């Protein structure tokens, strides 16, 4: 399966694909440390689940508004869903925003942060399996599986510090796995739905709907956002901005390329997350530079293996 060819479409070039995929994961990598800073700036305690859901809801509602606003300015018209797109937007809002982030935020409150970093990239495996076995969008090859395993090895190396304690809980690791599965499924659905609807429209409106549902749930559950720092709301705007840009780029890439070709870049997310956490959260003293370099090398190798053309494709050129 080859990407859509369009001479004026930068994202359909190799340079465009690499730039967009790396930028999206760099932005996502900054999300985790920024969320931790946000909890400080809004005085949200680790056990205050409803305030965490409210925090996420406001963030994604803002992300949806920014996505539609930027897209409308670029296209010169207001981006509205086509008739019949409501069901697709609802399904994506539930899978990509509500279910994924509800499980993710609760899971992180019951499991160590490094386990979240390890488990989150398993969405790549879920997406690959769902795309190949359920929707028959592409073939599951040994090369793709090998590339994913090598990339995942890099994530484990950069994420694990010390020894694993062996303890596993449904509300912790179990919820993080469910969040990864939800994200993997939504990535496959975006590719399928973008054949019928503009991926920017899908991304923006599903954020607005999903964010509004999470905001309502957080408020009804007693969640509150009380800014205790002047940096609180500027940080919230940045979180909304990064989600708008990252998910829009991701949706456009999934429209053009096979799921496995794009999802393998997700292994860059936790690598960037570790590096940015060290810088933004003043954890530079505990950063293991050799381990990070090895992890980055393995992730890049995994990306190269998955994106390397098959021999049959090379012989036909």
Q: What is the pLDDT of residues 280-295, one digit of tens each?
A: 776 666 566 677 678 7
Structure token pair of residue 143: 């090369």
The pLDDT of residue 313: 45
Residue-wise burial string across 175-206, b where 16 or more C-beta atoms lie within 10 A, e elsewhere: bbbbbbbbbbbbbbbbbebbeebbbbbbbbbb
Residue 13 has pLDDT above 80, yes or no: yes
Whether 271 is in a domain gets the answer: no
Mean pLDDT within 179-187: 87
Whether 280 is in a domain gets the answer: no
Residue range of the domain that includes 197: 10-140+166-263
Whether 105 is in a domain gets the answer: yes
Whether 182 is in a domain gets the answer: yes
Mean pLDDT taken over the chain: 82
Task: Name, in order, each residue with C-beta under 8 angstroms of 11's C-beta and a sequence gap of 6 or more.
Answer: 17, 20, 249, 252, 253, 256
Contact 243, 63 (CB under 8 A): yes
Whether 50 is in a domain gets the answer: yes
What is the tally of structural domains in the chain?
1
- On whether the pTM is more than 0.85, the answer is no
Residue 273 C-beta-side C-alpha neighbours within 13 Å: 25
Signed CA dihedral, 46, 49, 50, 56: sign only: positive
Q: What is the pLDDT of residues 195-246, one digit of tens each?
A: 899 989 999 999 999 999 999 999 999 999 999 999 999 999 999 999 999 9
Q: What is the H or E stretch that residue 58 is in? A: helix 49-75
Whether 297 is in a domain gets the answer: no
Q: What is the pLDDT of residues 118-162, one digit of tens each?
A: 666 677 777 777 877 777 777 778 888 888 888 778 777 765 654
Whether 257 is in a domain gets the answer: yes
Measured between its terminal Cα atoms, the distance across the chain in Å is 14
User: Looking at per-residue confidence, does 11 or 67 come out higher?
Assistant: 67
User: Looking at per-residue confidence, does 165 or 107 come out higher?
Assistant: 107
The pLDDT of residue 116: 58
CB atoms within 10 A of CB 129: 15
Q: What is the pLDDT of residues 18-35, one digit of tens each?
A: 999 999 999 988 887 888
Whether 126 is in a domain gets the answer: yes
Mean pLDDT within 62-72: 93
């Amino acid at each position: 399966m080859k990407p859509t060819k369009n001479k004026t479409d930068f994202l359909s070039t190799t340079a465009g694909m690499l730039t967009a995929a790396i930028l999206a994961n760099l932005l996502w990598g900054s999300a985790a440390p920024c969320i931790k800073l946000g909890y400080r700036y809004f005085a949200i305690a680790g056990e205050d689940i409803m305030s965490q859901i409210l925090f996420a809801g406001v963030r994604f509602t803002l992300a949806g508004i920014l996505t539609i606003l930027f897209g409308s300015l670029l296209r010169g018209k207001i981006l509205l869903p086509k008739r019949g797109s409501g069901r697709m937007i609802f399904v994506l809002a539930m899978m990509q925003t509500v279910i994924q982030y509800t499980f993710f935020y609760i899971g992180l409150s019951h499991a160590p942060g490094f386990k979240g970093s390890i488990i989150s990239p398993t969405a790549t495996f879920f997406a690959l399996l769902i795309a190949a076995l359920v929707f028959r969008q592409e073939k599951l090859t040994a090369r793709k599986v090998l590339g994913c395993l090598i990339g995942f090895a890099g994530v484990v190396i950069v994420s694990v510090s010390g020894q694993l304690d062996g303890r596993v809980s449904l509300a912790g690791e179990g919820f993080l796995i469910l969040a990864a599965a939800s994200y993997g499924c939504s990535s496959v659905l975006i590719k399928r739905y973008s054949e019928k609807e503009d991926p920017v429209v899908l991304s923006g409106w599903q954020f607005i709907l999903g964010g509004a549902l999470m905001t309502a749930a957080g408020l009804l559950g007693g969640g509150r956002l009380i800014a205790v720092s002047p940096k609180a709301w500027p940080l919230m705007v940045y979180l909304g901005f990064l989600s708008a840009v990252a998910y829009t780029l991701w949706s456009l890439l999934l429209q053009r390329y096979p799921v496995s070709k794009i999802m393998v870049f997700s292994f860059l997310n936790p690598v960037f997350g570790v590096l940015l956490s060290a810088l933004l959260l003043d954890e530079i003293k505990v950063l293991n530079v050799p381990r990070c370099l090895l992890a980055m090398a393995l992730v890049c190798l995994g990306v190269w293996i998955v994106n390397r053309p098959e021999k049959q494709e090379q012989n036909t050129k």
